[in-house]
Amino acid sequence: MTAGNRLARFASCEDFRRAAQRRLPRILFDYLDGGAGGETTMAANIADLERTGLEPRALRDVSSRTLDGTFLGVRHAMPVMLGPVGSLGLFRAGSEAAAFRAAHRAGVSACLSSFAVTRPEDLPQGSGSDAFQLYVLKDRGRTQAILERVARAGFGTLFVTVDTAVSGIRERDLRNGLRRITRPDLRILADLASHPRWCMERLRHGLPAMMLAEGWPEAGGTYLEQAAFLAGQIDPAFDRDGLCWLRARWRGRLVVKGILCAQDARIAVDCGADAVVVSNHGGRQLDGARSTIRALPEVAEAVSGRAEILFDGGIRRGGDVLKALLNGADACLLGRAYAYALAGAGEEGLTVFLRLLAAELDAAAALCGITSLDGIAKDRRNGLKPPGAGATDSANA
């Protein structure tokens, strides 16, 4: 069967998730799939989006429709962006460049994680709103050097992630012994051996290294050692003054990722953020935090008009994107959804997934009587209720 035929049978994010589960050793799949603690926040992101209804509208002319719209200063084919996902290069060789290529092909942009394997200089250039995601480090000289490198590489947008003062504790990773993967015990060896396709690819391409750790010999020699080193360098003292420090040093667009309440959103915007991302890191940090779709209206009300509002957490279908827009977002970031597609079915799989997402978004909008997604934000700014909103069983009711 050709790759095209095989992929034609993929009809949802869950299909790609299962493909990723089959292809990846369990230790890596659980790292991608799992969340912090009892994973209640991770589950709530999805469950609350499912509970958020859409209101169908009839007797409207929806024969001419468009999904495109402007956010982060650039016109996108749909209000979607690939968010920062670390370790993509561990799931499949070349995944970060593949993600950028697939995003550009779909008319959207992508964000490179600090935990990436691929150097920012080596990524394909897109339409102008591709972004780099930064963690502010205790060593501000090192942070400044990263900013300069990323600006030289041509990135105009910086995402600074602010919900990782300390690392979330992920039970699946502890149980699986993720940190021991380079010194594997029998259980890990058996896991690796039962995924020969992944092992063969790793043997062909060699073990990856973290691109930021180039020139940091004290970070260690393997990706996981380097990732642990970087995690330990993230500054837990990073606060409002730190954000103002960063704003003064980054000339491009600044996006603050990891906002879950109005007060933090106002601080970010007062410090000069151009946009905030309503995010709880996909439930990978504070288990017990509320779902992002619940937090979104409060943040939108606090800063809408002063900054753009991006949203992530639990987006698996086009209808989820529409729900986020109707609750105050200007655009959505994908996290696990696109990583499943890449890990399970490669670049072609991600292209198919993005096409599927666009088709679902188009159908959902049309059935809600919406012909332009840009119109949703306009209606909101004018205090009008857009069609499609007014959900039956809203998470925010």
Q: Which residues are catalytic?
A: 281
Report strand pairing: 308-311 vs 275-278.
Answer: parallel
3-state class (DSSP) for residue 84: coil
Report the residue number, 34 or 387, with the smaller CB distance to ligand FMN.
34
Of the chain, the end-to-end C-alpha distance in Å amounts to 48
- Minimum distance of ligand FMN from residue 60's CB (angstroms): 31
Report the residue number, 126 or 283, with the smaller CB distance to ligand FMN.
283
Alpha-carbon distance 254 to 252, whole Å?
6
- Minimum distance of ligand FMN from residue 161's CB (angstroms): 4
Contact 74, 369 (CB under 8 A): no
CB atoms within 10 A of CB 127: 14
- Minimum distance of ligand FMN from residue 167's CB (angstroms): 11
Amino acid at 88: L
Matching residue, tokens 């159908």? 363
CA dihedral of residues 124, 79, 306, 303 (deg, nearest 10): -120
- Tell me which residue has its CB nearest to ligand FMN: 335
Long-range contacts of 143-148 (CB under 8 A, 24+ apart): 143/246, 144/249, 146/114, 146/212, 147/249, 147/250
- Minimum distance of ligand FMN from residue 371's CB (angstroms): 27
Residue 304, CA atoms < 13 Å, CB-side half-sphere: 21
Interface positions with ligand FMN (CB under 6 A): 32, 45, 83-87, 113-115, 133, 161, 257, 279, 281-282, 284, 312-315, 335-337
